[in-house]
Amino acid sequence: MQYKFGKISMIIAALMLPVSLVISNFISWWLKHKNPSHVVITARLAYLGPILLSLVISFGLLLIAGLICGLIGLKKDKDTMLAKVGLVLLVVVSVTSIIAGGLQQKIHTAEDAYTKQSTETFLKQLSK
């Protein structure tokens, strides 16, 4: 096979984010379904640590596997085109995912600021 490692690298790059999201959502569902710590599962931050940890670990492992396959493809594949495309795709997916995560954090910050302001306004109205 002339594209073996390059093809694997591209497949991993294409599935890196969706597979990581599926894994973290499964972990989220399982933890909230079983609720082993007996927390209020309707809170947005319920089990946030394990959920984010599963997302980051699965994303990181797939990124490393894709990089390894891409680099091996550059050395061993007869035609390195797919290995190069796979490596570029890994970088693009990683950078885009980091940007999306940063924007999501900004959204949560804005929502929290609005909630705090609304609560303070409500409490001031009550105290009058």
Q: Which residues contact 65 (CB under 8 A, 6 or more apart)?
A: 12
pLDDT recorded at residue 20 = 95
Mean residue pLDDT across the chain? 90
- Residue-wise DSSP of 33-61: HH-TT---TTSTTTTHHHHHHHHHHHHHH
| Average confidence (pLDDT) over 69-97 | 92
Structure tokens at 111: 């929502």
Residue 84 structure tokens: 């190069």
Q: Residue 112 pLDDT > 90, yes or no?
A: no
9-27: average pLDDT: 94
What does the DSSP 8-state code read for residue 78?
Answer: S
Q: What pLDDT was estimated at residue 54?
A: 96
Residues 86, 66 contacting (CB under 8 angstroms):
yes
Question: Among 17-21, 43-47, 97-101, 109-113, which is the least confidently predicted range?
Answer: 43-47
Q: In this predicted structure, what is the pLDDT of residue 126?
A: 86
Residue 1 pLDDT class (50, 70, 90 cuts): low
Structure tokens at 83: 């290995």
